[in-house]
């Protein structure tokens, strides 16, 4: 019988083993190195790191966006209280750039508006025996609102799980925020703008409301103001400065609204001086050319309407007083002028503010703007400060942050509050009308649309009501505010002096 022979394979040589082991090590080292140098794409849950390290997305306050500081932690704590209570609650998202600002809306303006929104959240939640409670989400659209579309998409995906009923804020009027508003409106999520003025935001279909005054209403009020000056002072000369920057719907709305209103009321405009901001580095040069045209010795106009943003108004003021030039003109602009100071903090820009003050005082120029809100305007509308909600709002504001009550005079915290508070009241009314299980974006939208007539909301800026056909503010006056040069005392209140009220 033959024997079967089995040939066993030879063991691999040491050379082969070492080669295989080396290959494995190379792969492991590559993986480790890749992980070590792979960019971290998450700043926090719901917040993604974008180009340049900017953190963009939606947070419940657990992550502090650069513009907000410690107010984020306070919002987080209030949200935790609502969650632990187990009581019926809804969510409101506050949407705008929280990375340091957009255009002339610097971090201080954003921080004030969000602080006002948080106070509104506290007021709704602390009211005994009432529901629903409010959770507040912070939605950062990124610098210049570059990621507004992505953030809105994120909000819509979390709508049902988070019981999101509305969005407040919006920040500034530009093509990106306009697209964001359109997307929310199409999805049936109502929006209440706090600091947004562009006319294109106006609702063609139900969905967009605002406590801020649109640019055309501001421009019309300004045209009537200048018409009164021409009627009182024969020969009163008026010129218009306009910014031709592409894609800025605020500037375009302000200019077109003013020229249309001027024609309606018979206001004489002597000439229009155009410039284009942001076209190239050294954009302030354009305002120096404008100042040369306006500040002509012996021929300076009596009045100027400035159809541009607050950052450009500041550059114009600096140019007007350059080398202590005299330019005794009265300049009136729109709501964006509130941001004239937002680029520079007193902590870091003392020398810069001092130079601005020297030039401004030397020029003799007077600057005014149509404001969304001012504490003194609120007092006038309510028939006295103590008859309205502002004193309680001021107390809560000072409890939250150090500083003086003068910080409220620019109105940003007031309208941030009123946008969120109005949504909270609409949610309560939706519960009363439709029942506790029917507080949805559609029912809140319905009740926001009914916020008019005798069904108003007592906001800190005045009584909040919306025109039924447009969602625009109605039955409330805007404030005429004088901007003051910076002082060595650092008194924020003197920078925003109430002059009177104007009808939209």
Residues 271-283: tens digit of each pLDDT: 999 999 976 555 5
Q: What are phi and psi of 96, to 5 degrees?
A: -175, 180
- Size of the chain, expressed as the number of residues it contains: 504
| 221 touches 499 (CB < 8 A) | no
Closest by Cα among 165, 183, 61 to 122: 61
pLDDT over 90 at 378, yes or no: yes
Domain 216-371 fold is: Rossmann fold (3.40.50)
| 213 touches 229 (CB < 8 A) | no
- CATH number for domain 47-213+384-476, candidates 3.40.50.150, 3.40.50.2300, 2.40.110.10, 3.40.50.360: 3.40.50.2300
**CB neighbours of 469 closer than 8 A, spacing ≥ 6?**
none
- Residue 32: its pLDDT value, please? 39
CA distance 113 to 166: 17
Residue 217 tokens read as 């209403």
| 142 touches 97 (CB < 8 A) | yes
Which of the four pLDDT bands, split at 50, 70 and 90, describes residue 99? Answer: confident
Cα angle: 422, vertex 426, 430; to 5 degrees: 175
CA distance 198 to 270: 26
Q: Which helix (H) or strand (E) holds 93?
A: strand 89-96
Same CATH fold, 216-371 and 47-213+384-476? yes
Pick the residue with more confidence: 368 or 16? 368
- Residue 297: its pLDDT value, please? 83
- Residue 103: its pLDDT value, please? 59
Q: Which helix (H) or strand (E) holds 478?
A: strand 478-483
SS3 content of the chain, % helix, strand, coil (to 5): 50, 15, 35
Which of the four pLDDT bands, split at 50, 70 and 90, describes residue 25? Answer: very low
Pick the residue with more confidence: 286 or 236? 236
Q: Cα separations (Å) of 297 from 134, 286, 320? A: 58, 20, 12
**Strand 478-483 to 366-371 pairing:** antiparallel
Note the pLDDT tens digit of each residue in 323-362.
999 999 999 999 999 989 886 655 556 888 899 999 999 9
- Residue 439: its pLDDT value, please? 98
* Residues β-bridged to residue 93: 137, 167
Q: Which helix (H) or strand (E) holds 15?
A: helix 14-37
Pick the residue with more confidence: 319 or 285? 319
Note the pLDDT tens digit of each residue in 293-312.
999 888 999 999 999 999 99
Note the pLDDT tens digit of each residue in 172-196.
889 999 999 999 999 999 999 999 9
For the chain, domain boundaries: 47-213+384-476, 216-371
| Burial letters 230-241, b for 16+ CB under 10 A, else e | beeeeebbbbbb
Mean pLDDT of the chain: 89
Rg (CA), the chain: 28
Residues 362-383 have a mean pLDDT of 97
Cα-Cα end-to-end distance for the chain: 115
CA distance 102 to 169: 13
Q: Which helix (H) or strand (E) holds 133?
A: strand 133-140
Judge if pTM exceeds 0.85.
Answer: yes
Closest by Cα among 206, 189, 171 to 100: 171
Highest mean pLDDT among 61-70, 150-159, 199-208: 150-159
- Residue 11: its pLDDT value, please? 54
Residue 315 tokens read as 């550059």
Q: What is the share, in percent, of the chain residues with pLDDT greater than 70? A: 87
CA distance 126 to 112: 21
- Residue 21: its pLDDT value, please? 47
Helix and strand counts by DSSP (H, E) for the chain: 15, 17
Q: Which helix (H) or strand (E) holds 310?
A: helix 310-320
Surface-to-core class of residue 208, CB atoms within 10 Å of its CB (0-12 exposed, 13-18 middle, 19+ buried): buried
CA distance 492 to 486: 8
CA distance 214 to 474: 11
């Amino acid at each position: 019988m033959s024997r079967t022979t089995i040939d066993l394979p030879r063991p691999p040589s040491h050379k082969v083993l070492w080669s295989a082991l080396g290959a494995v090590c190379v792969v492991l080292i590559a993986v480790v190195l890749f992980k070590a140098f792979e960019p971290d794409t998450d700043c926090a849950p719901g917040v993604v790191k974008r180009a340049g390290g900017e953190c963009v997305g939606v947070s419940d306050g657990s992550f502090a966006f650069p513009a907000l500081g410690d107010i984020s932690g306070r919002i987080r704590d209030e949200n935790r209280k609502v969650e632990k209570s187990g009581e019926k609650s809804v969510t409101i998202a506050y949407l705008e750039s929280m990375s340091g600002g957009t255009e002339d809306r610097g971090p201080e303006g954003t921080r004030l508006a969000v602080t006002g929104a948080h106070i509104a959240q506290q007021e709704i939640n602390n009211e005994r025996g009432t529901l629903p409670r409010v959770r507040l989400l912070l939605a950062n659209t990124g610098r210049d609102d570059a990621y507004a579309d992505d953030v809105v998409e994120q909000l819509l995906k979390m709508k049902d799980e988070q019981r999101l009923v509305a969005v407040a804020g919006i920040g500034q009027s530009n093509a990106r925020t306009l697209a964001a508003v359109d997307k929310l409106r199409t999805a049936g999520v109502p929006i209440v703008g706090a600091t947004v003025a562009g006319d294109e935001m106006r609702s063609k279909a139900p969905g967009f409301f605002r406590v801020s005054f649109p640019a055309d209403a501001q421009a019309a009020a300004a045209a009537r103001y200048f018409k009164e000056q021409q009627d009182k002072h024969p020969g009163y000369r008026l010129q218009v400065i306009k910014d031709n920057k592409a894609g800025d719907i605020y500037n375009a709305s302000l200019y077109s609204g003013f020229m249309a209103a001027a024609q309606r009321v018979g206001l004489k405009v002597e000439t229009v001086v155009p410039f284009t901001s942001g076209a190239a580095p050294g954009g302030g040069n354009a305002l120096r050319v404008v100042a040369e045209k306006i500040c002509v010795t012996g021929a300076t106009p009596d009045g100027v309407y400035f159809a541009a943003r607050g950052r450009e108004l500041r550059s114009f003021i600096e140019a007007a007083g350059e080398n202590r030039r005299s330019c005794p003109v009265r300049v009136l602009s729109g709501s964006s002028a509130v941001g004239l100071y937002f680029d520079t903090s007193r902590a870091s820009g003392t020398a810069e503010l001092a130079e601005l003050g020297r030039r401004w005082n030397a020029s003799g120029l007077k600057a005014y703007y149509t404001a969304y809100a001012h504490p003194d305007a609120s007092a006038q509308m309510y028939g006295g400060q103590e008859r309205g909600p502002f004193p309680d709002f001021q107390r809560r504001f000072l409890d939250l942050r150090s500083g003086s009550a003068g910080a409220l005079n620019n109105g940003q915290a007031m309208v941030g509050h009123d946008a969120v508070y109005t949504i909270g009241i609409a949610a309560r009314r939706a519960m009363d009308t439709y029942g506790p299980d029917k507080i949805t974006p559609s029912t809140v939208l319905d009740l926001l649309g009914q916020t008019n007539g005798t069904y108003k909301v007592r906001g800190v800026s005045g009584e909040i009501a919306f025109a039924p056909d447009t969602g625009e503010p109605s039955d409330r006056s805007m404030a005429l505010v004088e901007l003051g040069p910076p002082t060595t005392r650092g008194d924020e209140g003197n920078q925003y002096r109430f002059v009177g009220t104007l009808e939209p």
